[in-house]
Amino acid sequence: MTSLMQKIKEVLPQLSEAERRIGEYVFENPEAIPHMTTKELSKKSGVSEATIIRFCKSIGIGSFKSFKLALMKDLTLTDTNLTDFSVLNKKDSPYDLFHKVIHVNKSAIESCADSMDRKELAKAVEAIQHAGKIVFFGVGGSSTAAVDAQYKFTKLGYHSITSLDFHYMLSVIPHLTENDVFVAISTSGKTKDVLELTRFAQKKGATAIAITTLSKSPLYKEADIRLCTPNVEQDFRIGSIPSRMTQLTVIDTLYMSIFHHVGEKVLQQYYDARSEMESLRR
């Protein structure tokens, strides 16, 4: 707990009804406050603007502006702001939602650190490094990560494949061999299409890397290498937003790691592509 938040908590019981309401709101949504106006906060917490000014004075701060600055400073000092943003509420404006999305995505990425196993990661990098083809597959929200991965690894000079089309994939997999890698992306680890293609790829000898949540799912059990994403499911309205961020973070890591290894080799092609792009500007 930071000093300013601490202070608010302490004085909370001594405050009047309306001022306490503000304090409670601040306590629940500290991140949001610095970007708010008195009018907004007044609406959200259900008290008048005048009371907000009074609240600032009550906690010993001269103005609402100073309060916002102080809070920003306070929040910066601690990264452990465990705000429960799962609570979306009716009155949220797009700008409010924007800040909630920022928060949700930030914490999702943060929590990636918890679920990743360094040995599995090393194995994955090893496998991809020596791969001939890399096939990525994910459906629904997970297709974004697959598309992103396919683009990134193509840039690195890999024969990298993805498609949303199950039947297209069915025609790709028979050509996989022991050297190849199949990356299955599924948050739940239960998606039928993903499972079937993974098994098929394994039957052809490819190494199956799963990007999935740590759970007793079939995909988790059957994959050769498991890159676990944290369980970040929240309010259904937020849906796949945070889990996609975690998947992308894993993809980014694979990309960076491979770049690190093969970097020198592809650097020239990389520059070529860049300068050509500059000149074409497309």
The interface mask with its own copies, positions 109-148, x = CB under 8 A, is: xx-xx--x-x--xx-xx-------------xxx-xx--xx
Q: What gap in Å lies between CA 172 and CA 174, rounded to an integer?
A: 6
Smallest gap from residue 34 Cβ to its own copies (A) = 5
Q: Which residues of 130-145 are buried (b: 16+ CB within 10 A; e: fewer)?
A: ebebbbbbbbbbbbbb
Least distance to its own copies, CB of residue 143, Å: 7
Count of residues that bind its own copies according to CB under 8 A: 69
Half-sphere exposure of 155 (CA within 13 A, CB side): 17
Tell me which of DNA, its own copies, none is bound by residue 105, counting a contact when its beta carbon lies within the kind-specific cut-off of 5 to 8 angstroms: its own copies
Residues that bind DNA (CB under 7 A): 16-19, 37-39, 46-54, 56, 63-66, 68, 117, 119
Q: How many CB atoms lie within 10 A of CB 216?
A: 7
- Nearest distance from C-beta of residue 92 to DNA, angstroms: 16
DSSP percent split of the chain into helix, strand, coil, nearest 5: 60, 10, 30
On whether the CB atoms of residues 126 and 228 are closer than 8 A, the answer is: no
The two structure tokens encoding residue 97: 């939602």
Beta-carbon-side half-sphere exposure of residue 235 (alpha carbons within 13 Å)? 11
Q: Which residues contact 227 (CB under 8 A, 6 or more apart)?
A: 116, 117, 120, 121, 124, 209, 210, 211, 212, 250, 254
238 lines the binding site for its own copies (CB under 8 A)? yes
Piece of the chain touching its own copies by CB under 8 A; list 53-61, 87-95, 167-175, 176-184? 87-95
Interface with its own copies includes 256 (CB under 8 A)?
yes
CB of 281 to DNA, least distance (A): 17
Cα 66 to the center of its chain, rounded Å: 32
Binding residue (CB under 8 A) for its own copies from 43, 190, 199, 204: 190
- Applying CB under 8 A, which of residues 69, 86, 177, 276 lies at the interface with its own copies? 69
Q: How far is the CB of 23 from DNA (least distance, A)?
A: 11
Q: Which pair of tokens denotes residue 230?
A: 């944290």
Q: Which does 153 bind (CB under 5 to 8 A by kind): its own copies, DNA, none?
A: none
In sequence order, what are the residues at sequence separation of 6 or more whose Cβ sits closer than 8 angstroms to the Cβ of residue 31? 75, 81, 83, 85, 99, 103
- Which parts of this chain interact with its own copies (CB under 8 A)? 34-35, 66, 68-69, 72-73, 76-77, 79, 81, 88, 92-95, 97-102, 105-106, 109-110, 112-113, 116, 118, 121-122, 124-125, 139-141, 143-144, 147-148, 151, 166, 190-193, 236-238, 241, 244-245, 248-249, 252-257, 259-260, 263, 270, 277, 280-282
